[in-house]
Structure 1
Amino acid sequence: MLLREQLSSRGSTADDTADHQTYLPFQIMEDLMDKLNVLNYDEEFLKDLKMRPLNKHYFALQTNTGEQFFMFTSLSAWLIRKAGCKFEQPQEYDDPNSTIASILDATREFGILVDFPPNKLKQGCGKHAVYILNSLADKALEQLKFVWHKPKPPPELDEDSSVVEDDSELLLERIEEDMAAEDSEDDEDNLLNIDDLQNIPNISKVVIDVQKPEEILESNTNTEEWRLELEHVLPLLKVTIKTDARDWRSHLEQMKHHRGGMEETLSSAKSQLEKLERDIGGTMDKIQSREKFLNSQLENLLNQHRSMQDELAKVTEHYKEVSGGVTERQRLLIRITDELELVKQEMDERGSTMTDGSPLVNIKKAIAKIKSDIAEMDVRIGVLDHTILQARLKDKNMLNSQISA
């Protein structure tokens, strides 16, 4: 404790602020658990998704990144729906970037300030995740019109009525009080009332005579018998007080014992801790001086590195633009190549038909056949003409013969 106090006294206000920022997520996480219990997340969220209950520091510490991220997205989606906005339940195999972007868009619609990059939520834990969940829980409580009230302490009871006596705890004071009460009751039973004494005549003289012995009283009890009787009764007179772990006296003794041990240990370890503090202080000073030296030496290189990174980003962007044009031109080239192949195929077919002589031979054969058919038809026509002429001459002769007759 002394070392911690000395180190904290040497720190600055910035260190106190850093410590506060470090422990702030734990405090917000505890408030978030209270709000989730008010929203009845045990029945409406955990049972539907069949998940285990969250502990009070679940999102403040990193344990299992995949499980915490899925729990964060699922709980955020449930809170968004509780706040009155439609939101689909995310799945394990969804794209994390799109899921985070959807959650942040819904968060901004509620008017919640988001001033950090989305990749801070990929781990599913930390102060940014706790901040988003706590803000969404507030919006869900506003949707339910829930209002926090100041706590009302229970009415204070009197000490006599609030303290319940434990019969199993045997205290020496209680035994003494009971014994004193019994003795007083016996004495009251044996004593006469003052009014009764006044009614008895000459009672004062009798009492005075009894109270004033004429000679010194001497005990006639045997000493040995009295000791034997005392030894016989002594075990029965012992009072056994059972120690209870709940008794504040035992706790006080333990605290005194532990405090003495701590003081003894601290006295022996104080010198070593002071030496350790001096060593740590010297080492921290050396580290700070070396850090400043390295920063001064590497400042030019860091500036060059930043400029090179900017140039690389510009070249990468230009490459993406050019690569997009090249892809489009490649597609155009493939289409033109296909059309050229079709044209070449048609030209090859036409060239093969032009150099082939079989159609000309077929034409000549057809002409020759047509000529033979024409000659045959001419012969048939001549025969028919001759037959018709003979028939006419025959008819003419028959007519002449009839006329002459």
Structure 2
Amino acid sequence: MFRDLPKLVIEDPSAPSIAFVANIRMEDLYEKLKLLNYDAEFIQELKMKHINRHYFVVPTNPGEQFYMFTSLAAWLIRKAGKKFDPPQESDDPNSTISDILEVLKEIDVPVEFPPNKLKQGVGEQAVYVLDNLADYAMKFLKFKWEKPKILPDESIAEAEVEDDAEIILEKVEEEITAEYDEDDEDIVHVDDITKLYKESSANTQKREKILESTMDAEEWKLELERVLPQLKLSIDADTRDWKAHLEQMKALHAGMGQNLSGTKGQLEKLHADIGRALDKINSRETELNRQLEPQLQELRILQEELSKVKEQYRDVSGGVTERTRTLNKLTEELEQVKKEMDERGSSMTDGTPLINIKKTIANMKSEISEMSIRIGVLEYSLMCSRVRDSAQLREDMKSTNSTVST
């Protein structure tokens, strides 16, 4: 995997590939998701959308990417054996992010960035969170790498479909070769070619033996004449060849002309049968109309009478509705009058108003006595003030006279 490459790039901030660390880590995360059976358990069971190798690196749709980020994080947390409810689109983003970061703290994953960096659902921080959750899920499931097993090459059996009228040329050649290959020493295999190449590499100029065919030419010709009628080569026409298209159109046109003669007679016969059937239907319809004319006339008269009765019913029902409305109004007025009469009767037999009047008179008398006391106090205060003013005025006049005499 690409686990060590991002670390090396981060150690050297001046590296040219520093801007693509998130891309490399996202590809690493994508491979881990495949190992965790992401296609079956996340995409198919939860009905989610497929993501590509750079989905959480390139911002395209913030809302959709944030929902995919939180859903994938919740799925990885559940894969790690922890309880985590699948997020909904209506959930509070801050609470969802805080729950995910709380799980990261529980599994001892350092978080050195603010939580608001995850609100977009894309970027280096989002890939960092998902990558660490995927690592923890793989550790929880005890995933281990195994050495690759190289299986031996096996010949794959191919289904052969043979047609009686058409035999493939290669098949015929194999059958002919199989009839005459009785001596295995004359067969040249791949291993023999390799051995011969090694022997000839020592002395390329010297040839110990020249391979010669041991088959009789006359027998070969006889066998070829025997199978020659069965050989048939089918060459597919080029779809861009206009001549082939033209020949095909001519053949189709000729076939249509040949088939049209028989089909035309059948269509004409069918047309004649349909015409006769329509004539019979029209004649029967005319006869039925003639026979049912009195009944139809009676039906029309009854329909007219029914319409008149319905009109009268509407008029009468309109008058009944108006009278019902008037009756309801009079009933309401009667109820109001009864209510007023009941109130007046109860007030005439009830002594509560007299008691209230007596209480009011007593309250008024007490208030009058209180007012009289207050008036007396005020008169006394006024008289005292007048006495003080007159005494002060006399003293002022004495002092003025003494000053004038001096």
Would you call these one fold, judging by a TM-score over 0.5? no
